Chain A
């Protein structure tokens, strides 16, 4: 167990809908990362937060947004969902957001029908 908690584990929704994915980092970790992994694909970096502030942004679509709350949990909001958004979404946390190891949660599998 990595100590990173992601909910829900599975999510099935229709095109055009909006969903929220939740992540609780390991105790003591200040930085949260979001990654998207499509079928048989690599890990696409979406966004990183450190202690409530956005630190880095990857190829995150404008339909997607995220935030990190004062208690350090993070939410990833996906709106106007398309079939191509179906993927495994991972959250990871690290102690400092610098050169410290990332610990991944078990992911949320999103299926858009």
Chain B
């Protein structure tokens, strides 16, 4: 089955700096890669996603890149703000009749003012 590795597990940056979180997946058939943000005690919320036919996608300060050959994808947050502090999860979806979404273990991002 699919396995998703996420690094780093914790990340501390200064406000205004950039943050990068990386994930690798094992199943080359995976074709959909969302990123979720989870604030303490709250539900995960989708912040950006990318499909396997696209190499990069950007939404304001957030961007995701995908390297299908190397089977890894990354989340980039620029000009970080204290409200970006949260746990971020990457995930990979393998299509087909038995498809499901497998999550990485999460990255706890702390943005210091």
The interface residues of chain A lying within 8 Å CB-to-CB of B105 are 41-42
What is the number of residues of chain B that contact chain A, defined by CB distance less than 8 Å?
24
In the complex, how many residues of chain A place their beta carbon closer than 8 angstroms to a beta carbon of chain B?
22
CB distance from B2 to the nearest CB of A (A): 10
Q: Are B43 and A102 in contact (CB under 8 A)?
A: no
Q: C-beta contact mask, B90-107 vs A, less than 8 Å → 1, else 0?
A: 000101011111111110
B28 within 8 A of A: no
Q: Give the most central of B31, B51, B98, B100: most A CB within 10 Å.
A: B100
Distance between Cα atoms of A44 and B99 in the complex (Å) = 15
Cβ contact within 8 Å between B44 and A104: yes
**A17–B98 Cα gap in the complex (Å)?**
32
A55 touches B46 (CB 8 A): no
Per the 8 Å Cβ criterion, residues 65-106 of A in contact with B are 90, 97-99, 101-106
Contact with A along B16-45 (1 / 0, CB 8 A): 000000000000000110101000001111
Q: Is the CB of A98 within 8 A of B44?
A: no
**Pairwise interchain contact B98-A55, C-beta atoms closer than 8 A:** yes
Cα distance, A102 to B33, chains bound together (Å): 11
Q: A98-B95, A99-B93 are in contact. Are A45 and B100 (CB under 8 A)?
A: yes
Q: A2 at the A/B interface (Cβ < 8 Å)? A: yes
Report A-chain residues with C-beta under 8 Å of the C-beta of B45.
Answer: 2, 104
B42 engages A45 (CB within 8 Å): no
Report if B49 contacts A (CB, 8 A).
yes
27 contacts between A and B (CB under 8 A): A35-B103, A41-B105, A42-B104, A42-B105, A42-B106, A43-B44, A43-B103, A43-B106, A45-B101, A45-B103, A55-B97, A55-B99, A56-B98, A56-B99, A56-B100, A58-B100, A90-B43, A90-B44, A97-B99, A99-B51, A99-B95, A101-B34, A101-B49, A102-B34, A105-B43, A106-B42, A107-B43
Give residues in B with beta carbon < 8 Å to A: 31-32, 34, 36, 42-46, 49, 51, 89, 93, 95, 97-106
